[in-house]
Amino acid sequence: MGSPIRKLGGSVLYGSLEDEAPFETVRRLVQYEDYLLRLMRDAGLPTPTPYGVVVLTPEREYLVVCEFFDGAVELGDAQIDGAVIDDALSIVRRLWDAGLAHRDIKPSNLLLHDGRVRLIDVAFAEVRPSPWRRAVDLANMMLVLGLRPNAQRVYRRALRQFRPEEIAEAFAAGRGVTIPSQSRAMLRRDRRDLLTGFRRLAPRRRPVRIQRWGIRRFIATGRLLLISALLVAWVYGNSLAVNPETFGSNAGAVANVVDVGAPTCGPGPAQLRQLVLMAQAVPQAAALPCVRAPSDLVAGRFRARDGLSTFDVASPAHTTMIRTSAWPEPSQQRLTVVVSSNTATGTMREVPSDQAGARKYQGPPAVTVRAGTEGITYVFPLVWGSLSYIFAYGEDAYFSQRALAAVGLVSREELRRTLDGRWHV
């Protein structure tokens, strides 16, 4: 019946020349194969005699019963002489005369039985094919025959049944995408360039274009591009996740992530994801800030990119405000937590720290959190190793104390133990 990917790829590669309707059911496929076996038998082609169809499971499994060629061998494994070459080429001539194309001529579909060549697997044959289809059948038959003797001998025998111009057209139409995969594999192992050899023997002919555009092909190409874009987006989205064993050393892996909510110090999957993204964005961080639970503060927007990660918290009265991009005025009671790999204390004054293992500074912002920041701002870089944690907020001292009390720290080692190799974002 052919896979959807094969159908889509065929439409993109061949355009209108591969314009075939898919079989919607297995029953339709079996009926078509039985019909073609009878049609080819009536045309005198050496195909298996059909005896009917057996229903195994209605609408799911069917069996086409036909003649069995006992003792037959594939043409690729048989001894090929002049009589066999003539017999095989006559099959193509009879296909042409009957208005048929097999479309899958390869060694496994050509059997030598009692000195005669037999043609099998006709399910994908075509009735009233295009001249291009007919030419491809001839090229593929000559390539199969050329694998055993040589191109010169096959070409001389072909001239007995086909005109030089017909052979030239066949190899002008035949190329990699039109040759069955089994034949392509055997040609690679043979190491002879049979295609070029046949083209040199035949009259010169410009290659036949197989990429012809039509409405069907435009639609198929658009679908393929859409699928590719979705696949790239999916791969890119999954690339933001990190290996728990290496997330501390892959700097620059985070391009730009925007999320709703702030990482809490609890074990929830969404919070773990934000903590890991923060650790990945700023690999120098020995510890990561988070919002302690329970807290009466509202989490705002989380951001992460190479070298910088931020999130906001605010009082419940300003829930709508913190979900916008506008920078809050000093009276709007909003705390922005910034984790940066490039933080300097500058002229800030050191004050007693209320965070164990950290140093605390106060003064004008040493790092610009957002352009156009106005009003009085307090910045408390909590230096842990080579990293500073910046807490920027308005002049409301009461809110500042509550906000700072709500922000805690999770060490990188503690996060690694929590993940325990189970991170699959």
Using a 10 angstrom Cβ sphere, with 0-12 exposed, 13-18 middle and 19 or more buried, the burial of residue 318 is middle
List the single range of 14-28, 281-295, 344-358, 378-392 with lowest mean pLDDT: 378-392
Task: Give 329's pLDDT tier (boundaries 50, 70, 90).
Answer: very low
Q: Which pLDDT score is estimated for 318?
A: 38
Task: Give 242's pLDDT tier (boundaries 50, 70, 90).
Answer: very low
Domain ranges within the chain, ordered by starting residue: 4-201, 256-419
Do 4-201 and 256-419 have matching folds?
Answer: no
Task: Give 324's pLDDT tier (boundaries 50, 70, 90).
Answer: very low
For range 281-296, the mean pLDDT: 75
pLDDT digits (tens, 9 = 90+) for 68-108: 999 999 998 898 999 999 999 999 999 999 999 999 999 99
The helix/strand/coil state of 392 is strand
Contact 157, 142 (CB under 8 A): no
Which of 177, 187, 64, 49 is CA-nearest to residue 118?
49
Q: Which residue has the higher pLDDT, 251 or 27?
A: 27
Query: In this model, does residue 352 exceed pLDDT 50?
Result: yes
Query: In this model, does residue 185 exceed pLDDT 80?
Result: yes
Contact 208, 169 (CB under 8 A): yes
Task: Give 31's pLDDT tier (boundaries 50, 70, 90).
Answer: very high
Q: Which pLDDT score is estimated for 157?
A: 96
CATH fold group of domain 256-419: Protein Transport Mog1p; Chain A (3.40.1000)
Q: Which pLDDT score is estimated for 314?
A: 72
Residue 175 CB contacts under 8 Å (≥ 6 apart), including other chains:
195, 207, 210
Task: Give 66's pLDDT tier (boundaries 50, 70, 90).
Answer: very high
Query: In this model, does residue 57 exceed pLDDT 80?
Result: yes
Task: Give 38's pLDDT tier (boundaries 50, 70, 90).
Answer: very high
Query: In this model, does residue 50 exceed pLDDT 60?
Result: yes
CATH fold group of domain 4-201: Transferase(Phosphotransferase); domain 1 (1.10.510)
Q: Which residue has the higher pLDDT, 360 or 384?
A: 360
Contact 144, 183 (CB under 8 A): yes
Which of 74, 73, 80, 75 is CA-nearest to residue 150?
80
Residue 174, number of CB atoms within 10 A of its CB: 25
For 159-249, where are the alpha helices, taking DSSP H only?
A: 164-173, 181-190, 194-201, 215-239
pLDDT digits (tens, 9 = 90+) for 140-177: 999 999 988 789 999 999 999 999 999 999 999 887 77
Q: Which pLDDT score is estimated for 302?
A: 82
Pairing label, strands 50-57, 73-74? unpaired
Residue 67, number of CB atoms within 10 A of its CB: 14
Query: In this model, does residue 28 exceed pLDDT 70?
Result: yes
Q: Which pLDDT score is estimated for 193?
A: 87
Q: Which pLDDT score is estimated for 264?
A: 77
Q: Which pLDDT score is estimated for 288?
A: 81
Q: Which pLDDT score is estimated for 393?
A: 46
Residue 124, number of CB atoms within 10 A of its CB: 17
Q: Which pLDDT score is estimated for 167?
A: 96
Which of 317, 316, 323, 319 is CA-nearest to residue 296?
316
Per DSSP, what are the bridge partners of residue 256? Answer: 305
Q: Which residue has the higher pLDDT, 360 or 226?
A: 226
Q: What Rg, from alpha-carbon coordinates, does the chain have?
A: 36
List the single range of 192-206, 247-261, 279-293 with lowest mean pLDDT: 247-261
Task: Give 370's pLDDT tier (boundaries 50, 70, 90).
Answer: very low
Q: Which pLDDT score is estimated for 174?
A: 81
Pairing label, strands 73-74, 116-119? unpaired
Q: Which residue has the higher pLDDT, 83 or 364?
A: 83
Query: In this model, does residue 254 exceed pLDDT 60?
Result: no
Predicted structure pTM score:
0.52
Q: Which residue has the higher pLDDT, 358 or 145?
A: 145
Q: What is the mean pLDDT of the chain?
A: 75
